[in-house]
Structure 1
Amino acid sequence: MKKKRRLLRWILLSIVLVVIIAVVGTLAWTQIGVMQAEPEPLAEAKANPAIAITDAPEGIVLAPLEGVSDTGLVFIPGAKVDPWAYVAILQHVAAAGTTVVITRPWLNLAFFDLRGMDSFTAAAPDVENWSVGGHSLGGVRACQLAEDADALVLFASYCASDLSDSGLDVLSLAGTEDGLSTPTKIADARHRLPDDALLVEIDGASHASFGDYGPQPGDGTPTISVEEMRRVVTEQLVPIVTLLDAE
């Protein structure tokens, strides 16, 4: 009996140690290799006189300084990407009249973040119409939150959940040079989106072109300029926002 008890204790201790090592290893991995926002694009966005940038508890809030903002976008970063890396590419969407809330995913990974839309829209309680979007893994999470939004925006991403009968307005932006969320992968997941979803391939854009955090392992080489990328993204996003406002 003593030998059996000692064996049982040894087995239980081994299991506990394995679990502890796995948890500690996972936590360490989520903090190592986080892709930081490039300082120059961020500084440029912070100097934009048309928007106010607030580091709020709900996320990084980009608010237009002119007019009344009736529309908002909750935007979820890609895996292990600094949320500030999306401020520059979304600044002109905010300047056009949409309040943007860039979330800070728990442990830098969107699938660990179980908060609902109201955790982020609380940053701008006067905004009536909300869309949700995200980049890469952030887009996958955005699909899960889309039932509480009026529209869905995907940056180099696709849905794992079926939204084909949701009736949502959907905009999916892909890059022809994306080595991670390739145009083929996005096309293969097309059936999970409504029939009238708008899919746009941006010529020359890579996976990392949708943020300002530098090159990403496994990605393609972008041939589009930063300025042109921002222009195209803004041009595609603003009509979706205008549609929401009209409704």
Structure 2
Amino acid sequence: MKKRKAKSTSEDQYDTFSITMELEKPLLYNEGDNLDKKKQIKKEADSKKLKKGIMTLLVVIVLFVAGFFIWLSNGYKLESNSLSYLESDSDVKVTIKDKNIYFTPNSINAVKGFIFYPGERVDVSSYAKLGKKIASYGYEVVLVDMPFDYSSFGKDKATEIIKNNDNIENWVIGGDSLGGSVACKYALNNKNVDGVILISSYPTDNISDLGIEVLSISGSKDDVIDYNKLINSKDKLPTDTNYVEIEGANHSQFGSYGLYSGDGEALISEDEQIDMSAKKIVNFLYNIQ
């Protein structure tokens, strides 16, 4: 009897490859899910690190800025024995407008004015003795109050002063140390001043072609100023700049605030130094046209 080959039915037919794939599907899906989860976890971890880094940076910046302004605010103030220079007398009227200190001569209607920017971390009232001495010769003097006693933060304050005092025909701007450098920046960008006075200072910008008069005063015992920069800055000033070195004068005694950090010991008194400086400034103002 001839054997017959058995026929496969649909129930007996199996695709082994399909079965294997079906069996492995959950494993493949789980592996993909795990990979996505790992990526998500890493992404969240990276995001947390980034946020933490940004927060740390912000804290450092805030602390630095706060420290900087605290440092600025704890600078040099007018000594108590010089407070009388902020009071009016028979020669000079002293007034305060918008925190700026005005010294107005009583004996004459001033037509020339001197706008003064203070040194770094020095309260502008510390220059009251110098300002009052100059005003007594017949000139309007304005000591400009600066935010945090830092002239760079108020470099354009002279504009409002000039605008509000149209009785003054000729203005000269200047300052001590950083204040002098900032005054030069103002003169470079404004055509409303006729001269610049630098005290223990030098320009960081070239003002040699402005066509204005410049007076530079320094002290032989000044240990704060960078003498190399002072000498090299001559190329940035007019060739006819009037240079004056006061023998025995230091950096600090152009004001009345004590000894500036790192300064040398003066060989002359504060009164002598301010008196000589005032006379040089008065002569300069006299010749301003």
Alpha-carbon displacement from aligned partner over 1:5-59 (angstroms, at most 9, x marks no partner): 2222222222222222222122211112x11111223315625421111111061
- Counterpart check, 1:22 vs 2:64: yes
Question: Per residue, is there more helix in 1 or in 2?
Answer: 2
- Counterpart check, 1:31 vs 2:73: yes
Q: Post-superposition, which runs of at least 4 consecutive aligned residues in structure 1 deviate over 3 A? A: 182-185
The AA in structure 1 aligned to 2:265 is T
Contact 1:58/1:120 (8 A) holds in 2: no
Counterpart mapping for 1:44-123 below 5 A: 44=85, 46=87, 48-57=89-98, 59-122=100-163
Q: How many residues align?
A: 244
Q: 1:125 aligns with which of 141, 149, 166?
A: 166
Instruction: Report the CA distance between 1:226 and its aligned residue.
Output: 2.7
Identity of aligned residues (%): 27
Q: 2:237 aligns with which of 193, 212, 217?
A: 193
Partner of 1:146: 187
Partner of 1:9: 51
Cα 1:82–1:67 change in 2 (3 A) is same
Select the structure of larger CA radius of gyration. Answer: 2
Could you tell me the TM-score, scaled by structure 1's length?
A: 0.92
* Aligned Cα root-mean-square deviation (Å): 1.7
Cα 1:2–1:226 change in 2 (3 A) is closer
Structure-2 separation of matches of 1:19 and 1:214: 32
Structure-1 separation of matches of 2:149 and 2:86: 22
Cα 1:161–1:65 change in 2 (3 A) is same
Q: 2:264 aligns with which of 198, 220, 233?
A: 220
Contact 1:58/1:122 (8 A) holds in 2: no
Could you tell me the TM-score, scaled by structure 2's length?
A: 0.79
**More deviation in 194-203 or 177-186?**
177-186
Contact 1:58/1:123 (8 A) holds in 2: no
Cα 1:10–1:53 change in 2 (3 A) is same
**More deviation in 14-23 or 96-105?**
14-23
Cα 1:23–1:45 change in 2 (3 A) is closer
- Gap regions ≥5 residues in structure 1: none
Instruction: Report the CA distance between 1:4 and its aligned residue.
Output: 2.4
